[in-house]
Structure 1
Amino acid sequence: MLYSVVICDLIYKLEELRDVYNDSTAKKILIEIEGLQKANPKSSDWENKLVEMIADRTKLLEISDVENINQLQKHRHLSAHPVLNQTSLLFKPNKENVKSHIINMLSGVLTKPPILSTKIFSELVNDLATNRDRFSEDKDLKRFLSAKYFKNLRQETLDDIFKKIWKLVFKLENEECDLNREINYRTINIIFALNPPEILKLLKTEEAHFDGILPKVCTNYFFNFLFDNPKAYNVLSELNKAHVDHEIENSLEFKFLSWFKFDSIMEYHEFILSEINDGGTFYLPMEIIHKLKELYKDFNMKEKFLDLYIAIFAKSNLFDTADRNFNQLIQPYLEDFSEGQLQNIVYAINNNGQLHNRGLARYSNRLVKAELDRKITDFKYSDLYNFRT
């Protein structure tokens, strides 16, 4: 029965490759098998030819899988056909033999998706390119990839895909890579999340393959990867770590993303506040601010997160930046700020001309003052000449 299931499964896999993926190799094998069956309907020789063709022309079966199928066939024939011997009994395999055959067929044939017999990486990246604007949510992309590609894949196959997509995201720059970098990057994160310990092991054991991150856009994606998967930093090569340190030293944005370098979130928080307070004014993209918000939320650090927002607001470098920072970082949280935090907002406005000279300053200041007066009835504004309402 197990042998019959395996042969049927191989036929079904070929049919799916032909019908779903338009696989020319699968088409030819099925045509040839059909010809053998018609030429000799009573013969089962086509079964042997089927296994040989699949092994020779596709990547579905390993050498060990073919040998396991052959051993299963031999035991099947002995069990199904009488062999005259001293007792004239059919061969009866023991439970250990049967269990071994079942395990071998499950791992070698039955749980493998048919796409393995084609060039899976080429099929995957072409699919990602075609659907790069289709799956806006990571959960939808993960569902699609898991259903079509990742379900039942062996870890070594996932490792190979991870390595190849890593190169497309972090080590190559051309028109095609630029168009598909975002969808490929999201796929890298999905593969990592499927089995983090195994991918971390891969990053460590084959660290040279993951060296050579290109600057600018590739490095930007690389920092986002480390931000989302902080354990990956510790297994990077020293060359990659040196690249990370160099970029942090020369970019405030990368400093904000560098929490993966610290032993604790509090150590990172103190570092980034010090960098802000000791530096000049700056502009920080909202996508980084949103990532920081989620990070602090994960650690249940709302008060520290509000301190960070105030520090960013205080260093607004332009009127437009100040307007955006107030609207996004201050106004939605006015009721949440403590008395001390509200006072720090007032001091920040008074001390930064980009905050107190902007067109919307008086309106914004009235909102801050109303909340502060509600919490502190005797706060003195007399020395804050630039805080005008």
Structure 2
Amino acid sequence: MFYTDSMEYKVEAIYYSKTKEYFSEVLSSYNNGNYRSAIVMLYSVVICDLVYKLQELSDRYSDDTAESILKQVKEEKKESSTNPKWEVTLITQIKERTNLFESQDSLNLDYLRSQRHLSAHPVLDQLDMLVKPNKETTRANIVNMLDGILCKSPLLSKRMISTFLEDLVSVKDQLIKDVDFEKYLNSKYLSKINKPTADKLFRDLWKFVFRLDDQQTSENREVIYRALLVLYKKDMSSFNSQIEGDKSYYSLVNLEDEAILNYILQFWSIHPLVFQYMDQSIGVMIKTKGEKNLDILSKSVFLSDTLEQHFEIIQSKLIREDLRLSDSARKLLFLLSENQGSLDNFLDFLIELLKHSSSYDDSNDNFQDYILTYGDIFSKDQFIKILDIINENSQLHNRRQAKTDNNSLQRLIEIRFEGEIDYTKYPYFRI
């Protein structure tokens, strides 16, 4: 098996089969010590590969930029088939109008082009009229072109966002599981794009998820948000720097649309460091909204120093004002607790809310949402605490639904702790 940094290994990752076929001549020349021929052929292969990439963008993705560049190049080549001016136009236009090249790739291609000229064209004022590059220079050029151009997908156009969004919409009902969705995006797109394209994609997705409120975006916001999470996860440090460096752009979020607000609160709560990069006015607005709206406060975990502190804050408000935690807020807090290894704190928080059930209806809802929903993860001590609460709170043990719920609770307990709890200690726990 080849090492992943060997030329032979990289050759297998060349994007186009035709390019790989042409490249075999480059590799053959290099292996036989014909470094001048290898350089000349390498440049020709790169030019062909760039044309292939533009053709795919034009034909498969209807990329207007790629189509325009191809048209210009073809016209120049038609004017003079022997004049290589069109090659210069091709490279220049790609540099200026697409994201196919990173800065280093562009410099490496310029260097290869100069080496190709020296290798292919006689220098009249030197004894050795044709320059012969050494092995190290030839190898460096080959590796640079493999890494920077030949092995990369053409999905680096500045128009990529349209193609990307259309694809998201087409698969949103098929790739329900996050793990499948992530594999799909990484395989088809994210593993094939360079950093400038990833940065541009992140910037665009942020706008669609957290700012735009047109009908089409609203209908597909969830799948776009999922894509944003997958992309952000790939290089959080880099995207954090991008956000911090363009605070005014990323702070321009829509806090008046309820759906958008829910997504931005979730994102900041999962990644609280991102919230630190927002303009201070954002924090003031969120705090003001949270004072008037429990749901917003419950989902604004990033406003607290720790998740445990957040539980204390919202628990106090829920009990004091006799309010209930929304399903969406509860699910977010569960997700965060699971991610941070704080499930016990989350479950204790729910048990405390159950304890303060103040009516039969409230007790019915609390028992279902806070206890039965998470019945398979409570500890034995937590189950005992729940039994104590039921026994002590008449709103829990006198309601019509009590026996049915108590039976469900007992089944959950016995599945995991069979025979370990003495129910006779709780006379009002009737089954």
Tell me if TM exceeds 0.5. Answer: yes
TM-score scaled by length of structure 1: 0.79
Mapped to 2, the partners of 1:335 and 1:111 lie a distance apart of 47
What is the DSSP-based 3-state SS (H/G/I as helix, E as strand, rest coil) of the residue aligned with 1:117?
A: coil
The corresponding residue for 2:54 is 14
The corresponding residue for 1:261 is 303
Unaligned stretches of 5+ residues in structure 2: 1-37
Q: Does 1:248 align with 2:299?
A: no
RMSD over aligned Cα, in angstroms?
3.9
Greater mean alpha carbon deviation, residues 81-90 or residues 189-198:
81-90
Change over 3 Å in CA distance of 1:98–1:290 after alignment to 2: same
One-letter amino acid of the counterpart of residue 56, structure 2:
E
Change over 3 Å in CA distance of 1:326–1:37 after alignment to 2: same
Q: Deviations over 1:213-266 (max 9, x none)?
A: 322222111111112222222222211221222233233333333333333343
Change over 3 Å in CA distance of 1:348–1:238 after alignment to 2: farther
Greater mean alpha carbon deviation, residues 217-226 or residues 330-339:
330-339
Mapped to 2, the partners of 1:246 and 1:209 lie a distance apart of 22
One-letter amino acid of the counterpart of residue 235, structure 2:
N
Deviation at 1:3, TM superposition (A): 1.1
Mapped to 2, the partners of 1:292 and 1:308 lie a distance apart of 10
TM-score scaled by length of structure 2: 0.72
Mapped to 1, the partners of 2:400 and 2:273 lie a distance apart of 45
Find the partner of 1:137 among 156, 170, 177: 177
Matches within 5 A, 1:64-79: 69-79=109-119
What is the DSSP-based 3-state SS (H/G/I as helix, E as strand, rest coil) of the residue aligned with 1:313?
A: helix
Deviation at 1:178, TM superposition (A): 1.2
Matches within 5 A, 1:154-173: 154-173=194-213
One-letter amino acid of the counterpart of residue 283, structure 2:
K
One-letter amino acid of the counterpart of residue 354, structure 2:
F
| 8 Å CA contact retained: 1:281, 1:315 | no
The corresponding residue for 1:151 is 191
In percent, how many aligned pairs have the same letter? 30
Find the partner of 1:364 among 396, 405, 409: 405
The corresponding residue for 1:207 is 247
Mapped to 1, the partners of 2:241 and 2:79 lie a distance apart of 52
One-letter amino acid of the counterpart of residue 375, structure 1:
I
Matches within 5 A, 1:99-138: 101-102=141-142, 105=145, 109-110=149-150, 112-138=152-178
One-letter amino acid of the counterpart of residue 379, structure 1:
K
Deviation at 1:312, TM superposition (A): 3.4
Change over 3 Å in CA distance of 1:13–1:360 after alignment to 2: same
The corresponding residue for 2:421 is 375
Mapped to 1, the partners of 2:236 and 2:224 lie a distance apart of 18
Mapped to 2, the partners of 1:388 and 1:347 lie a distance apart of 13
Matches within 5 A, 1:271-282: 271-282=313-324
The corresponding residue for 1:177 is 217
Mapped to 1, the partners of 2:290 and 2:95 lie a distance apart of 50
Mapped to 2, the partners of 1:201 and 1:77 lie a distance apart of 40
Q: Does 1:288 align with 2:334?
A: no
Mapped to 1, the partners of 2:323 and 2:388 lie a distance apart of 17
One-letter amino acid of the counterpart of residue 329, structure 2:
I
Unaligned stretches of 5+ residues in structure 1: none
Change over 3 Å in CA distance of 1:36–1:282 after alignment to 2: closer
Greater mean alpha carbon deviation, residues 204-213 or residues 331-340:
331-340
Higher relative contact order (CA 8 A, sep 6+): 2
Greater mean alpha carbon deviation, residues 252-261 or residues 2-11:
252-261
| 8 Å CA contact retained: 2:334, 2:346 | yes
| 8 Å CA contact retained: 2:61, 2:163 | no
The corresponding residue for 2:277 is 235
